[in-house]
Amino acid sequence: MYYTVPTLGTEYLPVSAHQAFQTKEFNKDLELLAGAAQHEGPLVFAIDYGYTPSNLTEKSFHAIAQAFDIKFHNLNVDNIITFYMSSINKSDADQVRRQLYDLYGDLLMTCPTHYRPKVMTPKSGPDIMGVTHGSELDFVFGLPLIDSQKTDTEVDKQFSRDVMKMWTDFAKYDKPTVDWPKLIDYKAKNYVPKAKELN
């Protein structure tokens, strides 16, 4: 897998997304389709760092989380440790690794995916990896329908049909469906992003 980066200074991307948000220079009348997989971190961690961590301890988790500060800046590692480590068996290296992956995925993918729409509006691998970044592509391109595996269920096939229709309608009509719900309902008291749950 290779990363691609946008070419700035063109008619399509005259400025960076960061600058556009700061100066409010973006199209405010566009519909967005945003989402994150259950476990965004394992694949991008392996790509970014070139290895899959093993035999992790709470101490090594702390050291790696501290090292993330170089990339993400001003992380409160003590709060991170409390949040990600308090609900697991800290002597189980697989659980510690899962939490490390979740932390990295949250920092790199999940939080920005949920944060950016909030900012704009007002102004698969081994089982240890879970549902990772890119796992939806089989459904987007209809693989459960055209190359069904033994593990594909009727729910998988229907979900693939739904996802293909959403993307096709989004491309044709600028909306995934006629009754597409807003990601965030700001009128609700404690608003949270909506998600389609398949588990």
CA atoms within 13 A on the CB side of 161: 6
Percent of the residues in the chain that have a pLDDT greater than 70, as a whole number: 73
Runs of H (alpha helix) within the chain? 17-23, 41-49, 58-67, 69-72, 77-85, 93-105, 111-120, 137-140, 143-146, 154-173
Entry pTM: 0.55
- Compare 186 and 18 and report the one with higher pLDDT: 18
Would you list the domain boundaries of the chain? 34-127, 136-199
Task: Give the model's pLDDT for residue 128.
Answer: 56
127 has a pLDDT exceeding 60: no
Task: Give the model's pLDDT for residue 196.
Answer: 58
Average pLDDT over the chain reads: 79
Task: Give the model's pLDDT for residue 199.
Answer: 46
| Integer Rg of the chain from CA | 19
Averaging pLDDT over each range in 42-51, 63-72, 83-92, 169-178, which range is the top one? 83-92
191 has a pLDDT exceeding 60: no
Return d(Cα 98, Cα 81) in angstroms, integer.
13
132 has a pLDDT exceeding 70: no
Nearest partner of 149 among 141, 157, 158, judged by Cα: 157
96 has a pLDDT exceeding 90: yes
CB 45 within 8 A of CB 184: no
What number is the average pLDDT over the span 149-167?
A: 83
